[in-house]
Amino acid sequence: MEIKPKPINKKRPNPIDAHVGSRVRLRRMMLNMSQEKLGEQLGITFQQVQKYEKGTNRIGASRLHAIANILQVQVAFFFEDAPDVAPIATADFVESGATSHVMEFLSTNEGLQLNRAFVQIKDPKLRKSVVDLVRSMTGETDD
């Protein structure tokens, strides 16, 4: 009988921990808050915040509650679109897989920058012009 060496198993973050961490990062970036500032408010280092955001370290319930308060969201926000989790009903809508591409987009620096700039445009006609411009650049037609 041949004995095979055990493969090196680099432990991967749990998908839920990684998702929750990415949502912490998304919301923190939406508020234009640094990891250092969030860490200060939590009484931890920015390195610990990095580990939470990557899903390397699991966020405990009381810490997640504190993060939700600091980031001004409900705890459920961190679980929206989580893998293998039923859709979460909120007061205004039911989150579904159809919105995952929006969350992916908003998780990027460009998506956040574009969103911040777009919501500052107060003139509805100008906002429509921006949408029309982007659609024309992609070849998408107005439905």
Angle 92-41-82 (CA atoms, 0-180°, nearest 5)? 40
The one-letter amino acid at 105: F
Q: What is the mean pLDDT of the chain?
A: 82
What domains are there in the chain, each with its CATH number? 15-107 (1.10.260.40)
How many residues make up the chain in this entry?
Answer: 143
Angle 35-19-94 (CA atoms, 0-180°, nearest 5)? 115
This prediction has a pTM of 0.62
How far CA 8 is from CA of 2, 5, 11, 68, in Å, comes to 18, 9, 9, 36
What confidence tens digit (pLDDT) does each residue in 60-97 have? 999 999 999 999 999 999 998 888 755 544 444 444 45
Going by the DSSP 8-state scheme, the letter that residue 107 receives in this structure is T
Categorise residue 52: left if φ over 0, alpha if ψ from -120 to 50, beta otherwise. Answer: alpha
